[in-house]
Amino acid sequence: MPLTQYFTGIRTLADKTMDELTPSASVNPKLLHEAMRHSLFAGGKRFRPILAVTACEAVGGKREIVIPFAVAIEMIHTYTLIHDDLPAMDDDDFRRGVPTCHKKYGEAAAILAGDALLTLAFEILADTARFPGVKAETILRVARETAGAVGSTGTVGGQMVDIEMAGKEPDMATLEYIHTHKTGKLIVASIRGGAALAGAEEDQLSALTEYGRSIGLAFQIVDDLLDVEGSREKTGKTPGSDLKNKKLTYPSIMGVEESRKLAVKLTDRAIKSVEMFGESSSRLRDLAEYVIARAF
Ligand code: GRG
C-alpha cells in the first residue's frame, strides 16, 4: 500500500474517533467546544497518531487498540499549538492554514480550549473501557509516561527554556535541550505508548525510544528549516516566526546545509535502531524518511 494511503487510513480512523470523543459545538459552553474543534479539525498532519499506530503495528498489535490513545495524543499536541500561538508566546496568526484559535475566538477562549483539550486527553486515557483487552496497569503506565512527557520536565519545560533563551547567545547544548523536550518527548511518548498498549516487550520499547529520539530531533530540525525556507502552503503557518521571535534554531547556529546533514544522520540512526523488527519495521523506516523529505 502506498504511504499516502497508509496515512489516510490512520487519519480517517483517528479523526472519526476524535469527533466522537470531543463534545459537539452545540453542547454548552458552545464557544469553548467550537474553539476546541476549530483547532483540532483544522487539518494537522496527524503525525503523532500515525506514529502511535505504526509503533503498535510494528510489534504486532491491531490499530483499533491504540486509536483512543492516538486521539488523546493529538489533543495534547493541539493544546500545545494553541497555547504556543498566543500573544504571550509566539503570537502567531495562522496555524494549520487557518487563523489561530485566539485570532478567531479571543485569548481567553483559546487558553481555555487548550486547557480543556489537555484535560480531555487524560480523561480518555484513564477510561480503561476504551482499551479492551489491555491490562489496567499498562494503561496506567502509558498515562503516567504521557503526563511525564508533557509536563515541566518535558514539553512545558522545553517551551519554558525556549522562551527564556529568546534573543540570547546561541548555545548548542541548550538548543538540544529545548528541542528534545519541546518536541521530542511527545513524539517518543506517542511511539512508546502505541507499542506498550499493543503489549511490546521492554527491549522493543528501548529500541523504539531510540528511534523516537532520533526522528523527534530530525522532525524539529526540519521544522526549523521550514520556518526559514517554507511557505504558508507547505507549513500552514506564517514562515519567519522563529526569526521574528529571536528563537534559537539549528539553521541559526549551524547553517542550513549542516542542519540538513544532521537531519539525514538522525534519520539513518532512527532506521538502524529498529532493524531488530525486521520486515515489520518497514513503515517505521518510511515514516523516518517522510520526516526529512519535507526539508528537501
Ligand atoms: C506547552 C505551550 C506549550 C508549548 C509546547 C510544541 C510546542 C511547545 C510548540 C509548538 C511550536 C512549534 C512550531 C514547535 C516545532 C515542532 C512542532 C511541534 C511543530 C508542529 O507540529 P506538526 O508539524 O503540526 O506535527 P500539525 O499541525 O501537522 O499537527
Q: What is the pLDDT of residues 169-205, one digit of tens each?
A: 878 899 999 999 999 999 999 999 999 999 999 999 9
Interatomic CA distance for residues 76 and 116, integer angstroms: 10
Output the residue whose Cα is nearest ligand 1's atom 29. Answer: 44
Nearest atom of ligand 1 to the alpha carbon of 219: 16
259-285 residue pLDDT tens? 999 999 999 999 999 998 888 889 999
The average pLDDT across 230-252 equals 68
Ligand 1 centroid – CA 77 distance (Å) = 7
The mean pLDDT of the chain is 93
The grid coordinates of residue 205 equal 520499547
Interatomic CA distance for residues 121 and 223, integer angstroms: 25
Ligand 1 centroid – CA 36 distance (Å) = 16
Q: What sign does the dihedral 35-37-38-39 (CA atoms) show?
A: positive
Interatomic CA distance for residues 74 and 76, integer angstroms: 5
Ligand 1 centroid – CA 193 distance (Å) = 19
Output the residue whose Cα is nearest ligand 1's atom 3. Answer: 80
Ligand 1 centroid – CA 132 distance (Å) = 31
The average pLDDT across 194-218 equals 97
The grid coordinates of residue 158 equal 522545553
Q: How far is the CA of 127 from the CAs of 56, 118, 143, 252, in angstroms?
A: 19, 15, 10, 44
The average pLDDT across 114-135 equals 98
Nearest atom of ligand 1 to the alpha carbon of 81: 10
The grid coordinates of residue 21 equal 470523543
Ligand 1 centroid – CA 81 distance (Å) = 5
Nearest atom of ligand 1 to the alpha carbon of 84: 2
Nearest atom of ligand 1 to the alpha carbon of 90: 11
Q: Which domains does the chain have, with CATH numbers?
A: 3-293 (1.10.600.10)
Is the Cβ–Cβ distance between 214 and 270 less than 8 Å? yes
The grid coordinates of residue 57 equal 503495528
Residues near ligand 1 (Cβ within 6 A): 44-45, 47, 77, 80-81, 83-84, 96, 155-156, 159, 182-183, 220, 223
What is the reported pLDDT for 169? Answer: 80
Q: CA torsion angle for 106, 107, 109, 113 (degrees, to 10)?
A: 130
What is the reported pLDDT for 41? Answer: 97
Ligand 1 centroid – CA 207 distance (Å) = 24
Nearest atom of ligand 1 to the alpha carbon of 78: 29
Nearest atom of ligand 1 to the alpha carbon of 82: 2
Output the residue whose Cα is nearest ligand 1's atom 24. Answer: 44
Interatomic CA distance for residues 271 and 157, integer angstroms: 28
Ligand 1 centroid – CA 261 distance (Å) = 22
Q: Would you say residue 137 has pLDDT above 90?
A: yes
Q: What pLDDT band is residue 233 in, cutting at 50, 70 and 90?
A: low
3-state helix, strand, coil in the chain (%, to 5): 75, 0, 25
The average pLDDT across 103-109 equals 98
40, 150, 183, 245, best to mutate for ligand 1 pocket (most atoms within 8 Å of CB): 183
